[in-house]
């Protein structure tokens, strides 16, 4: 009885502490939102309080200034296309490496895994050189191809770990029934790999959606800008014009926050299973 009571009080204290810390974590969002609808003078004189007048027109101005629809469209295209191709080619490669462990495939897998420690800076400069030589620069194709290459190691590694847990007997039964290896992969192995598809897609989405450096080096035309690049060039033009910059930032983070709130369960699961195997 006594222990039960003490436990309750302790939990209550912990609960209060954690709620306070949570509110502190949210303060930046408060500042961002509340100041995004203020006039410039209001931001300067009163950045902590509520707006004197709600200027929703700030959003309209920022929306056109960063050409938000185009940036959103570009970010969506790059993220979705790269993701789909990346899971396709990496799951196929991982499947073959596990089921046909020839010396060549084992060495190849080792190279993929070893390459995971290569930081982007170490390939960036020659990659730019090659991109301009082979006309991969300033195009969506070039950007997507780069994501396929740079994303392959982690994706192959994660699928490799998962294929090993898929029982061979099911595949053998299907082979006996006359399926080709391609049929076995797409109709039997792929459905079984679904959880790992989710994990890989989540991890790659968070990376590609938020990536700044690679697209900033490859894309130069304004009409190809993704959200991070559009935001960066916008900041260059409107330094310290917070009444323009803050609504632009809110617009920039909204899609990924919505994605998070809807997909939260999968994101948490994806991160957990993706990291446990790392």
Partner 1 sequence: MVGKKASQWIQQIVFVGPATLFFALIVIIPFILGLYYSFTDWNGISKTINWVGFSNYTHIVTKDPDFRNAFWFTVRFTVVGIIITNVIGFALAYILTKPLFTRNLMRTIFFMPNMIGGLLLGFIWQFIFIKGFAAVGEATGLSLFNLPWLGDRATSFWGIVIVFVWQTAGYLMVIYISSLNNVPKDVLESAEIDGATRWQVVRHIIFPLIMPAITICLFLAISWAFKMFDLNLALTNGGPFKATESVALDIYNEAFTNNRLGLGTAKAVIFFVIVALITSVQVRLTKSREVEL
For partner 1, the binding residues in 1-30 under the rule CB under 8 A are 11, 14-15, 17-19, 21-22, 25-28
Q: Which of residues 177-206 bind partner 1 (CB under 8 A)?
A: 181-182, 185, 206
Secondary structure in 3-state letters for the chain? CHHHHHHHHHHHHHHHHHHHHHHHHHHHHHHHHHHHCCCHHHHHHCCCCCCCCCCCHHHHHHHHHCCHHHHHHHHHHHHHHHHHHHHHHHHHHHHHHHHCCCHHHHHHHHHHHHHHHCCCHHHHHHHHHHHHHCCCCCCHHHHHHHHHHHHHHHHHHHHHHHHCCCCHHHHHHHHHCCCCHHHHHHHHHHHHCHHHHHHHHHHHHHHHHHCCHHHHHHCCCHHHCCHHHHHHHHHHHCCCCHHHHHHHHHHHHHHHHHHHHHHHHHHHHHHHHHHHHC
- Tell me: does residue 209 bind partner 1 (CB under 8 A): yes
- Tell me: does residue 162 bind partner 1 (CB under 8 A): no
When the beta carbons of 46 and 70 are compared against partner 1, the nearer one is 46
Task: Provide, rounded to whole angstroms, the least separation between the CB of residue 75 and partner 1.
Answer: 11
Task: Provide, rounded to whole angstroms, the least separation between the CB of residue 214 and partner 1.
Answer: 10
Q: Which of residues 33-92 bind partner 1 (CB under 8 A)?
A: 35, 43-44, 46-48, 89-90, 92
Binder to partner 1 among 70, 105, 179, 241 (CB under 8 A)?
A: 105
- Tell me: does residue 166 bind partner 1 (CB under 8 A): no
Task: Provide, rounded to whole angstroms, the least separation between the CB of residue 264 and partner 1.
Answer: 6
């Amino acid at each position: 009885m006594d222990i039960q009571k003490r436990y309750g009080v302790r939990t209550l204290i912990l609960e209060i502490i954690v709620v306070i810390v949570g509110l502190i974590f949210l303060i930046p969002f408060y500042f961002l939102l509340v100041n995004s609808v203020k006039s410039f003078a209001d931001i300067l004189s009163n950045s902590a309080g509520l707006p004197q007048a709600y200027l929703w027109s700030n959003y309209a101005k920022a929306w056109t200034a960063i050409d938000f629809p185009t940036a959103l469209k570009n970010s969506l295209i790059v993220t979705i296309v790269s993701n789909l191709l990346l899971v396709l080619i990496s799951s196929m490669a991982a499947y073959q490496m596990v089921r046909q462990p020839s010396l060549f495939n084992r060495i190849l897998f080792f190279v993929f895994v070893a390459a995971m420690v290569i930081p982007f800076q170490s390939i960036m400069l020659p990659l730019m050189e090659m991109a301009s030589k082979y006309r991969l620069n300033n195009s969506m194709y070039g950007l997507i191809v780069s994501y396929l290459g740079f994303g392959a190691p982690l994706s192959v590694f994660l699928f490799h770990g998962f294929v090993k847990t898929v029982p061979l007997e099911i595949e053998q039964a299907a082979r006996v029934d006359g399926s080709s290896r391609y049929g076995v992969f797409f109709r039997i192995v792929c459905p079984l790999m679904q959880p790992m598809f989710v994990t890989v897609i989540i991890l790659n989405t968070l990376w590609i959606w938020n990536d700044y450096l690679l697209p900033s080096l490859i894309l130069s035309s304004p009409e190809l800008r993704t959200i991070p690049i559009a935001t960066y060039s916008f900041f260059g033009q409107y330094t310290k014009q917070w009444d323009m910059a803050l609504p632009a930032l809110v617009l920039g983070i909204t899609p990924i926050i919505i994605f998070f709130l809807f997909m939260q369960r999968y994101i948490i699961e994806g991160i957990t299973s993706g990291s446990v195997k790392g």
